[in-house]
Amino acid sequence: MAKLNEEDKQSAGFWVTQEAPIHSDNPIPTATSPAPDILRCAYMELIVTDLAASREFYVDVLGLYVTTEDDEAIYLRSTEEFIHHNLVLRKGPVAAVAAFSYRVRTPEDLDRAVTFYEELGCEVRRNPDGFVTGIGDSVRVVDPLGFPYEFFYQTEHTERMSWRYDLHIPGELVRLDHFNQITPDVPRAVGFMQNLGFRVTEDIQDNEGTVYAAWMRRKPTVHDTAMTGGDGPRMHHVCFATHEKHNILAICDKLGSLRRSDAIERGPGRHGVSNAFYLYLRDPDGHRVEVYTQDYYTGDPDNPVVTWDVHDNQRRDWWGNPVVPSWYTDGSLVLDLDGNPQPVVARTDDSEMAVTIGADGFSYTREGDEEKGFKLGNTL
């Protein structure tokens, strides 16, 4: 792990440094025009093939609040949200992501977004009435990594349901926390996101310099989005936060009662990366949804960057529980601005799954362990 020296190692088994460039041999050029000032990930527009089935999952099971809905789309928000929505479910022929949408600080940041992406040669569209209900003037682009990104400031306000405990359920989702994107070349993606104003908070590397994943933030949490190495562009997951860990367990319990436990893909568990307690679900179209709680504040400019060794078996699950293969391999298609799926490009760097699990992979629980972990050997 070239960038990591023994003196940077922390007592819990990872390395801490200041944010350093993750070197890319194939960088996206740096725009000369300023990036828009992004506040936070705000909502995802998901294409679903069966609107009723999706409504049952997100509303009846997960308890998101319906701001408005019609035959074509459902607009949902989490408990403490005051903007119009955090999730749009839109009926369509192919399950995919239509937009990763971010809120910017001012209306003028939309002009900056247009200039910034046009300079990079991206397709850019602006709609002063918004692309979806409840959102005003918006810019949508296909970014240099192939993802459909949206930026907006104007939005209808809704009532925060935080004080409406009479409506809360045991598995209450209180906040949209982050997106996670799959991309073949993580260093290239990270470099671009840094130019867009994101800061790296954590990453996974190996001693040979391969970067397997990186977490990046605008708001002061561990991330607004992450880049996960794999065939892409695809969406890995969208994540909502709960207040407490038992809220996440309650979602599992409820899925069991509904005889839908097969919607639980991985977890619950404790992440090494982010230190959050987590659960991964799959919606009726296979879109992955994370539920997550209790990462940490990252808002200082010199926030230490945490780097994990890809062979550390506690990096993705602090308890060493196995990552199921589907979690590494499956992802959702993303659409271009005309609604057509973006082609998927294969990752050429080492795959995290290949280097860590299965016949040829290696993971340790304690650095220096020379054999495969007891648990991986028994479960995969």
**Listed ranges 103-111, 118-126, 137-145, 230-238: which one lies at the site for a second copy (CB under 8 A):** 103-111
Is residue 373 within the footprint of a second copy (CB under 8 A)? yes
Site for a second copy in 286-345 (CB under 8 A): 294, 296-297, 299-304, 313-314, 318-322, 324-326
Is residue 169 within the footprint of a second copy (CB under 8 A)? yes
Task: Sketch the per residue contact string, 203 through 222, with a second copy: x for CB under 8 A, - otherwise.
Answer: ----------------xx--
Longest dimension (CA), the chain: 60
Q: What is each CA distance from 96 to 45, 60, 89, 90, in whole angstroms?
A: 9, 22, 10, 10
Tokens standing for residue 285: 């179209």
Q: How many chain residues bind a second copy (CB under 8 A)?
A: 82
Per the rule left: phi > 0, alpha: psi between -120 and 50, beta: everything else, 83 is beta
Question: Buried (b) or exposed (e) across 327-365, using 16+ Cβ within 10 A?
Answer: bbebbbbbbbbeeebbebeebebebbbebbbeeebbbbe
Short-list 41, 60, 44, CA closest to 284: 60
Tokens standing for residue 218: 């605008």
**Listed ranges 11-19, 180-188, 207-215, 230-238: which one lies at the site for a second copy (CB under 8 A):** 11-19
Candidate residues 4, 250, 337, 344; the one interacting with a second copy per rule CB under 8 A? 250
Is residue 201 within the footprint of a second copy (CB under 8 A)? no
Is residue 138 within the footprint of a second copy (CB under 8 A)? no
Is residue 256 within the footprint of a second copy (CB under 8 A)? yes
Q: What is each CA distance from 356 to 73, 247, 272, 275, in whole angstroms?
A: 40, 31, 15, 20
Separation CA 22–CA 201 (nearest Å): 12
Q: 65: part of which helix (H) or strand (E)?
A: strand 65-69
Q: How far is the CB of 190 from a second copy (least distance, A)?
A: 22
Give 7 or 25: the residue with its C-beta nearer to a second copy: 7
Q: How far is the CB of 111 from a second copy (least distance, A)?
A: 17
**Listed ranges 13-21, 125-133, 187-195, 196-204: which one lies at the site for a second copy (CB under 8 A):** 13-21
Give 185 or 309: the residue with its C-beta nearer to a second copy: 309
